[in-house]
Structure 1
């Protein structure tokens, strides 16, 4: 701890940082914490937060009392939050020199907090490390740029670019359509470079003003941190240019949803060899077992990939999103795609997670499904050749309610993620679902007001 604080102190002082944003991720992926003067941050060597922040819903409400007091101390005690010296990022848009620092969370005895998403990912990564394996991941983040709107009752609209006109039609991979927002993306890339984010390419996706940023492959924990940083950075860059950036899974009716595609492979720590390939370059048994695990357990962990009511709108028919856990080589119509690559770069792309997921939990869940498949020797189905959207044998739960029930009833999920975590996560999502049901939609007013 002292060494970490010394490293942090040198980093902050060398950049003349005057304020520190001390962050932890809640279950929904919202960064929560405190803003502290640098001197106080270094003196206190971290912060304390009520453990109850991990049971907040996306609206800031809490789960029902019975579950709340089942999972938390009745005195609403604090958890100990210790800074991770490897997870420090400047905040380029701040008025004063500011840094954000991600924290790990512990109880007063030094045990990791079971409800913490970052701890869940670290728990899964330890399973791999104990086998002598290291996961390598590469996320792809999709999002929309929209006009700014202060009224949530109005649908989101396509923003106006440099040409003075909103984009029309589908402009997949269009360079000109992406260039409409060049000043915004120049700021975004400049800020991300200052933050040391491992960004790769920018792509215009299928929807109007829908973009995708690819991250270079690397360490799973560091990339989960970077995704949270990137979301904040992208939103701030958009606001600077008087538009909005949204990572909702399905923000615009009849337009494609936004995903967080996740490429994953596994290497031996000792040799760096990709365990998904045999010496002759063919697919290894471990690779096929990894896919088998993804197929069997993604449906049981689907709320970690599709955590909101809106997430399931992305899986509606004819939405360009996969709706099953079929797999295939070079096939984008299935949930699990195996890209064409060299044996050392062999990987599987999980295409099911939405852009609205908590990156710690989605990456942890995807890696855990594959891990269970490898240790249990699970066999995958036959790979799909051709169109896979209509395949019904390996379909996903159709609603958030059904997915939560399936997750809650799965003993293997509780064994690996912990019963406390599963209970808390499901309770938060059910509280959000109850909140959603209280809101009368425009569809109901339009079609039911005078017809029933």
Structure 2
């Protein structure tokens, strides 16, 4: 037994944990795995899962057989999942003392699984480490609270708060509107504190019963793990109070979408920002980082907007950015540079949706900036004023277009690997085909008796 695993086993014993939820993230961001008695977990030091778990769609289906056989062993062999002792969280709402342990995945030869989102993020972080760079991120997660709804054909509605009334209108940054759900958020904060999540502020966002939780800046892998845990924690807290929490990118017609804004910066091995010159001005590396984001975000958009619903957030006239323009203190562009001192200079990628897999969105955002720095890419001129009308750097308009663009970008293959690109695109195409089989309420309302 390794020293790290011995420490994990001791932690489980000290906290009297009786069950361990052994989890990995699939491509969608769903936690999949097994629940094991602690004694068995310690004895086996991990778990085995079918490789096919990494090719599951959000509906639980799989990609077509021809691609399936190209991407994994056709016999559907097991992969080996090893616990990360630095990714252990209690499950405060569980009846029995329970811990969630996030695992890494390996094939039978001991090589990291190329289709694993967590492995992809580690691969990108290795690129930075080889340069002596340390990326830092600070995510902001937006989500909606809604009434619980058993019928998916019915539109979602705002929940009833402590006052006994539903919220109406736009209540951006309203303290009273957020306080309507104080008991829910008290549980959420208590549970997150028990899990060691690095939460910062809670604000009421622009939409009706739309909230935002900000995380403190830190290690990208650690924060991706925390987002996976937080989304589950938020849903559990909402259910306890008889409402629902959703991280869909666009859950309600006429309301703003929900984003996962990513603030990102890069330090050197001495902890100094490489985004600033000694005189405090923007460094060439900072501008190249933005140049990389501008060039490659449109090529990697499916990692930021992974679902059909994601593209509803980018509709013209909404508050979401629709391009990869950049500007200082400008929330109307996709890449905002907030005011800060030179050491904390950063860029905020405002394009990822709250529905994105956190490992993949963070990996993609850091990768775009990395390529920009190593290739010396120059950004476009910053936007002054309103940026929604800027059309030079527009995004693909649909998931179909975005997947084709990602699939055809040869420059990404050395970084992501051909297997990952093929597998991810195949999973998202399978989901899209499944979506097109469903007859929507719009079609029934406007076409049933009219055409």
Shorter-chain TM-score bucket reads: over 0.9
Q: Which residue number in structure 2 is paired with residue 57 of structure 1?
A: 57
1:191 aligns with 2:194: no
Tell me how large the CA RMSD over aligned residues is: 0.5
Q: Which residue number in structure 1 is paired with residue 446 of structure 2?
A: 447
Cα offset for 1:450? Answer: 1.9
Cα offset for 1:75? Answer: 1.1
Q: Which residue number in structure 2 is paired with residue 333 of structure 1?
A: 332
Alignment of 1:168-317 (within 5 A): 168-269=168-269, 271-317=270-316
Q: Which residue number in structure 1 is paired with residue 420 of structure 2?
A: 421
Deviations 1:34-80 (A, max 9, x none): 00000000000100000100000000000000100011111110001
Q: Aligned partners of 1:246, 1:87: CA distance in 2, in Å? A: 24
Q: Aligned partners of 1:5, 1:51: CA distance in 2, in Å? A: 24
What SS is found at the alignment partner of 2:169?
Answer: coil
286-295 or 410-419: which moved more?
410-419
Q: Which residue number in structure 2 is paired with residue 110 of structure 1?
A: 110
Cα offset for 1:317? Answer: 1.1
Q: Aligned partners of 1:318, 1:96: CA distance in 2, in Å? A: 48
Q: Aligned partners of 2:325, 2:414: CA distance in 1, in Å? A: 25
Q: Aligned partners of 2:158, 2:37: CA distance in 1, in Å? A: 40
Deviations 1:145-191 (A, max 9, x none): 00001100000000000000000000000000000000000000000
What SS is found at the alignment partner of 1:286?
Answer: helix
Q: Which residue number in structure 2 is paired with residue 137 of structure 1?
A: 137
Q: Which residue number in structure 1 is paired with residue 79 of structure 2?
A: 79
What SS is found at the alignment partner of 1:368?
Answer: helix
Q: Which residue number in structure 2 is paired with residue 95 of structure 1?
A: 95
Cα offset for 1:290? Answer: 0.1
Cα offset for 1:440? Answer: 0.5
Structure 2 residues not aligned, in runs of 5+:
none
Cα offset for 1:421? Answer: 0.2
1:359 aligns with 2:362: no
5-14 or 381-390: which moved more?
5-14
Cα offset for 1:105? Answer: 0.5
What SS is found at the alignment partner of 1:245?
Answer: strand
Q: Aligned partners of 1:167, 1:442: CA distance in 2, in Å? A: 25
Cα offset for 1:304? Answer: 0.0
1:380 aligns with 2:375: no
What SS is found at the alignment partner of 1:49?
Answer: strand
Alignment of 1:397-416 (within 5 A): 397-416=396-415
Q: Which residue number in structure 2 is paired with residue 349 of structure 1?
A: 348
1:320 aligns with 2:319: yes
Task: Name the count of aligned residue pairs.
Answer: 451
Q: Aligned partners of 2:68, 2:167: CA distance in 1, in Å? A: 47
What SS is found at the alignment partner of 1:42?
Answer: helix
What SS is found at the alignment partner of 1:85?
Answer: strand
Q: Which residue number in structure 2 is paired with residue 155 of structure 1?
A: 155
Q: Aligned partners of 1:146, 1:34: CA distance in 2, in Å? A: 30
What SS is found at the alignment partner of 1:280?
Answer: coil
Q: Which residue number in structure 2 is paired with residue 6 of structure 1?
A: 6
What SS is found at the alignment partner of 2:85?
Answer: strand
Q: Aligned partners of 1:259, 1:299: CA distance in 2, in Å? A: 17
Q: Aligned partners of 1:251, 1:233: CA distance in 2, in Å? A: 19
Q: Aligned partners of 1:330, 1:438: CA distance in 2, in Å? A: 43
TM-score, length-normalised on structure 1?
0.99
Cα offset for 1:414? Answer: 1.7
Q: Aligned partners of 1:380, 1:294: CA distance in 2, in Å? A: 9
Cα offset for 1:4? Answer: 2.0
What SS is found at the alignment partner of 1:13?
Answer: helix
1:391 aligns with 2:363: no
What SS is found at the alignment partner of 1:88?
Answer: strand
Cα offset for 1:5? Answer: 1.4
Q: Aligned partners of 1:380, 1:11: CA distance in 2, in Å? A: 48
Deviations 1:299-337 (A, max 9, x none): 000000000000000000111000000000000000000
287-296 or 65-74: which moved more?
65-74
Cα offset for 1:413? Answer: 1.5
